[in-house]
């Protein structure tokens, strides 16, 4: 972040205040209002943070107009095509692409942390089997702070490192366990001879009674889904993690907060909501009815998997996801899947519709991911836990970055108060 020679002038009741303008390496300039209240006695007002940078960061950059997503400078389509999830994890965490030795060491470290404390198995059993897997996941990840006392000290760099690796390594195990628990099957332990994505499929789909061979194409599709969800700068769940962490909360509590936020249908919950919507539409002839509902201001219905706060051209992740969907469905011989037909037609019609063009609403990452996950065999309730496990590295990278910032302050937004001013308490008999 560099000071520019530019400044912005705010004029208020005849007085002028100079506000420094900071220059990013990419993206629009930023007006620095940190001293505004002290100098001018006013707050800025920006619910939903549509014009506010909440922090500085060197991890991920999005240009919503160009449809560009960069991790540490590398475009997401190149990473999705040439790299793989654990390499992207290294990149996000440490800022550079690993050498062969660094990658091998990192993969080995993550692989050797995939088992969870055995007593956590009993903790799982306290949940109802019909709980949503996200409910279980929020609880279990939060409870990691009760099991891993030796990585709770956020002021100890080594402990922060261990907590990061534990979270990235154990999240697939926890997600798979939530699934197994919900269907009444035994938990499956991780296998160190498999890679990250293949091991996740193994823990979800194998049973002790027979041999399960992971299909490499499905493992590749799974890995790509993880890669495409790895980080997305200051989205709602990441901002939640940062805000929780700003108070000094432990890493597992912060990531549990991120999972809770991700669950909402406007964020990570959209992948489940999108597939359910596509199934509800059911056939291509019913698309106009749903489009009309999406445009009706009096109907709360929204086209799930469409629109994004930042992308106003296209979501680069959706492009890669669509290719993966075609690949996976062809492999499984289900190209004529009716849900896919509805999705393709819906995308075509919506992209030509003046309402969607005018509001710059394009398919987002969640539009096609559900179709792939469904084809692999996951129930819709597992879609958001899979998003959560993939996003963990983004949360952890942003958490580490924030803790290393010497300027870190507790996050404490101000408000525009519109309630009553002071009034005297009225005794109950006089109300």
Point out the residues that are catalytic: 308, 366
How many residues touch ligand CMC (CB under 6 A)?
Answer: 19
Integer Cα distance of 234 and 249 in angstroms:
19
Under the criterion CB under 6 A, does residue 266 sit at the interface with ligand CMC? yes
Strands laid side by side in the 15-23 sheet: 2-12, 15-23, 30-31
Query: Whole-number minimum distance, CB 185 to ligand CMC, in Å?
Result: 29
Q: What is the dihedral of CA 293, 262, 112, 73, to 10 degrees?
A: 80
Give the residue from 202, 150, 149 showing the smallest Cα distance to 175: 202
Query: Whole-number minimum distance, CB 35 to ligand CMC, in Å?
Result: 29
Out of 120, 171, 230, 270, the only residue in the binding site for ligand CMC (CB under 6 A) is 270
* 349 to 388: interface string for ligand CMC, x by CB under 6 A: ----------x-x--xxx----------------------
| Residue facing ligand CMC at closest CB distance | 307
Helices then strands, counting H and E runs in the chain, come out as 18, 6
Nearer to ligand CMC, 163 or 361 (CB): 361
Out of 92, 116, 143, 294, the only residue in the binding site for ligand CMC (CB under 6 A) is 294
Nearer to ligand CMC, 107 or 366 (CB): 366
Out of 308, 316, 371, 372, the only residue in the binding site for ligand CMC (CB under 6 A) is 308
Under the criterion CB under 6 A, does residue 76 sit at the interface with ligand CMC? no
Under the criterion CB under 6 A, does residue 132 sit at the interface with ligand CMC? no
Out of 190, 268, 370, 385, the only residue in the binding site for ligand CMC (CB under 6 A) is 268
Out of 67, 98, 133, 305, the only residue in the binding site for ligand CMC (CB under 6 A) is 305
Contacts 24+ apart (CB under 8 A), 402-408: 402/55, 402/242, 402/245, 402/246, 403/154, 403/160, 403/245, 405/55, 408/246
Nearer to ligand CMC, 114 or 364 (CB): 364
199 near 171, Cβ under 8 Å? Answer: no
Integer Cα distance of 66 and 312 in angstroms:
8
Q: What is the dihedral of CA 395, 400, 406, 408, to 10 degrees?
A: 30
Tell which positions 234-253 bind ligand CMC, by CB under 6 A: 235
Under the criterion CB under 6 A, does residue 172 sit at the interface with ligand CMC? no
Q: How far is CA 172 from CA 40, 103, 344, 391, 419, in A?
A: 50, 19, 30, 11, 46
Under the criterion CB under 6 A, does residue 201 sit at the interface with ligand CMC? no
Out of 120, 260, 275, 304, the only residue in the binding site for ligand CMC (CB under 6 A) is 304
Under the criterion CB under 6 A, does residue 302 sit at the interface with ligand CMC? yes
Q: What is the dihedral of CA 289, 293, 298, 304, to 10 degrees?
A: 160
Residue 195 DSSP SS3: coil
Out of 132, 267, 322, 400, the only residue in the binding site for ligand CMC (CB under 6 A) is 267
Rg of the chain over Cα atoms, rounded to whole angstroms, equals 23
Residues that bind ligand CMC (CB under 6 A): 235, 266-268, 270, 294, 302-309, 359, 361, 364-366
């Amino acid at each position: 972040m560099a000071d520019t020679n530019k400044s912005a002038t705010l004029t208020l009741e005849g007085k002028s205040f100079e506000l420094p303008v900071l220059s990013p390496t990419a993206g629009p300039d930023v007006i620095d209002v940190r001293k505004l209240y002290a100098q001018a006695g006013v707050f800025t007002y920006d619910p939903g943070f549509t014009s506010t940078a909440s922090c500085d960061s060197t991890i991920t950059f999005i240009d919503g107009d160009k449809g560009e997503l960069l991790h540490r400078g590398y475009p997401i389509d190149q990473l999705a095509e040439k790299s793989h999830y654990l390499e992207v994890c290294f990149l996000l965490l440490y800022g550079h692409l690993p050498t062969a030795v660094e990658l091998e060491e990192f993969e080995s470290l993550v692989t050797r942390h995939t088992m969870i404390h055995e007593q956590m198995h009993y903790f799982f059993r306290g949940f109802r089997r019909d709980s949503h897997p996200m409910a279980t996941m929020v609880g279990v990840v939060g409870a990691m702070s009760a099991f891993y006392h030796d990585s709770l000290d956020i002021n100890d760099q080594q402990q922060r490192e261990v907590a990061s690796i534990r979270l990235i390594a154990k999240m697939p195990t926890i997600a798979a366990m939530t699934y197994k628990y919900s269907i009444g099957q035994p938990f499956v332990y991780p296998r160190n001879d498999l890679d990250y994505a293949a091991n996740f499929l193994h823990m979800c789909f194998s049973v002790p009674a027979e041999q399960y061979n992971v299909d490499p194409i499905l493992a590749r599709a799974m890995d790509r889904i993880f890669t495409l969800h790895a980080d997305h700068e200051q989205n709602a769940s990441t901002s939640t993690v940062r805000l929780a962490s700003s108070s000094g909360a432990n890493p597992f509590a912060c990531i549990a907060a991120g999972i809770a936020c991700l669950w909402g249908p406007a964020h990570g919950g959209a992948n489940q909501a999108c597939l359910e919507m596509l199934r509800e539409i059911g056939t291509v002839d019913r698309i106009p009815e749903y489009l009309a509902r999406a445009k009706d201001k009096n109907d709360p219905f929204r086209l799930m998997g469409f629109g994004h706060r930042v992308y106003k051209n296209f979501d680069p992740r959706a492009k890669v996801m669509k290719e993966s969907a075609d690949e996976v469905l062809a492999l499984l011989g289900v190209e004529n899947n009716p849900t896919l037909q509805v999705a393709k037609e819906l995308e075509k019609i919506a992209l030509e519709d003046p309402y969607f063009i005018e509001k710059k609403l394009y398919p987002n990452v969640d539009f096609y991911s559900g179709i792939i996950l469904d084809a692999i065999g996951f129930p819709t309730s597992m879609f958001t836990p899979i998003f959560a496990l993939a996003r963990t590295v983004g949360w952890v990278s942003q958490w580490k970055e924030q803790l290393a910032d010497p300027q870190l302050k507790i996050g404490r937004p101000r408000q525009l108060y519109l309630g009553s001013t002071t009034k005297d308490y009225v005794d109950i008999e006089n109300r």
